[in-house]
Structure 1
Amino acid sequence: MSPPAGEAVLARRAAVRFGIQAAGVAALLVVVLTGVAVVVLVGAQKAQVTDQLDGAIARADDVDDPPAGMWLITRDPAGRTDATSGLPGAVADTAALDAAAAGGDPPAVERNVDDVQYEIATERRADGTTVQAVLDLTANHSGRNRLLTTMLATGLAGLLLAGAAGTWLGYRALRPLSASLALQRRFVADAGHELRTPLTLLGTRAQLLRRRLYRDPGADATVLGEVEGIVADSGRLAAILEDLLLAADPLADRPREPVDLAALAAEVVAAAEADADGHEIVLRVDAPAPVVVVGSAAALRRALTALADNAVRHARATVTVAVRAPGVLEVHDDGEGVDPALAPRLFARFATGGRPSDPGRRRYGLGLALVAEIAAAHGGRVELVPGGAGARFRLTLPAGAPRNL
């Protein structure tokens, strides 16, 4: 089964990134190896040139037959100087000849004359003759440049091959994962689509019932309030369903809008009161002032609802939902609390906190994991606050706009 277009696009993008990373690693290796090779090559050439000059000086009987690419200059003890025919002008190092003839040991030097580089070595031999050897480095540099050019071309070809191979291997490795993610997203999309129609009908019927009750002068105010709650809950369910459908599309952007956390907390607590009453739990809201963040109202409502539901199921008598600036939500219950050792895996899927739960309701360990995912999508985090009685979960959201919704 081939993944849908959205999954295929993401897989291709990931494969390209993998290929670029592979090419980057290969480039780093090529640069390091090339640098080492250049250092070794230059050192070997330098040693070879030194051996050539020293050998020519040691074997020189006269200046008429120097090695290929080399010229000789000699000065006998009487001060007479002789040079190989064809010696380029201004190449001879007269100062080095004088220093060596006087008993000094001048170092070898490089000299550039008419865009040609020469290596010059001067030495006074035991017989009193001072010999200077001049080597044209053109042949050495040409060989080195050819080798460097070959290495560069080979390295570039290797980079292209590494990038292409990395992209191909990355795409092959990601295809099973992409297909698995596509199957999961398809299930969410299909389930959401199937739920949309009955949810719409439920909302419509609740609105019709509310309309009839308003027209009835003898309608019970309590019943009317419950119907208002059903209408509000159906609207929230529809928003949650739309958020799930957006989450099923990997290329879709969730809406970014100002969300008042204080108002959101009041809505979630109002919606959870019926369940809390069934457990004989008192829900409280501590939100003294509006706290506005930017994000998806539906997603944040899902996160806070999951935290409140978790607290109601584990509280003894009271659950408090507190809003603090900037962008901090806390849900605190007065239950038995959570073992701090279990905190690292609380927000993993299918993990439980090791607390007594409602025996009539099966737990799947998904609520806190979804809260963590929603918090991460908003650039925030959720954590278990250690210490104190009961369990305290803190959802922290950034003051600015979310990075990735």
Structure 2
Amino acid sequence: MNRSKRFVVDSDALAIRRASRVVGTRIAIACAVVVVVVIVAVFVYILSEISPGELFEPVTDTDNLQVSAVKLLRAAAVLGVALIVLAGVLSWQVTHRAVQPLGEVLRIQRAFVADASHELRTPLAVLDARLQILQRTLPANDPSSSVVAELRSDAKDLIHIVNDLLESAEIGGAAVQHAVVVDLVAAVAAAAQSMALIAVDKRVTIELNAPQPAPVRVPASSITRCVVALLDNAVRFAPRDSAITVSVAVTKKTVAVTVRDQGPGIHGIDPARIFDRFAHSAPPEAGGDESRTGFGIGLSLVREIVVRYGGSVHVVDSTAAGTAICLTVPRAKSA
């Protein structure tokens, strides 16, 4: 009997927690450095005021309150450690509270995208239906048939984009671990075959390097869509007469898919931010094609899907010689 394990994964929440940890750690380190500098200054001052022989001498004057140098240094060290720990706790609390409004903004943004997508789906579906009726009623030799066909194609593209936006807005909720083990290589091969038909127009070849099967618990359709998105991005920026390589690497715990092109690299944006929602890089250079070639799915949705199934996606490198993006998902255990 197959069972689906439900868990909550939200890439926005993960990003916020990661940012909170980074900021909190930096504040704690800065405070710790200040405390250490002060304690070291106290140590240096005490040691400069007494001779080495007096450092361990017992205190014999009981009329006045006196403390030996060793005890004073020990107290300073304990106080320093306590202050460092306190700085770490306070910095974590402050940063955690500071990023909460950001989480609310992202939640509102996701809700707006979902609501807008829902509102657009119906009129676009009606538009496509009317264009389909018009296309069927036109004679075969009608000169406007090609224009109507192009309008239908544009309407379908808009529908795909709206569906992708809706999926991106809704996918951050409860996730389901796929119960069926699938071969990731087969899904990647299907994506490469689909995009090869489009890449041929630019005389770009897609080479698949997958020496062994790769069992994963991710729907094959999701894998195909993600790889299509990565290949779409690579084809868009790849120069003519170049090659795009798709490599599949299998380890004991993970399966990684790396898509590498020979384009000009990522410009105008931090490579780590290309998976953010609504993020765009600068126009391609060195022969890249600025037009979109894929099926409407964006890199942000790739991250949403991969994170949903316990994986990750990141830019391996991006230079003038090309860009490599790696998608990693957990490997399924053998039955």
Give the alignment's TM-score, normalised by structure 2. Answer: 0.49
Q: Which has the higher contact order (CA 8 A, sep 6+)?
A: 2
Using the size of structure 1 for normalisation, the TM-score is 0.43
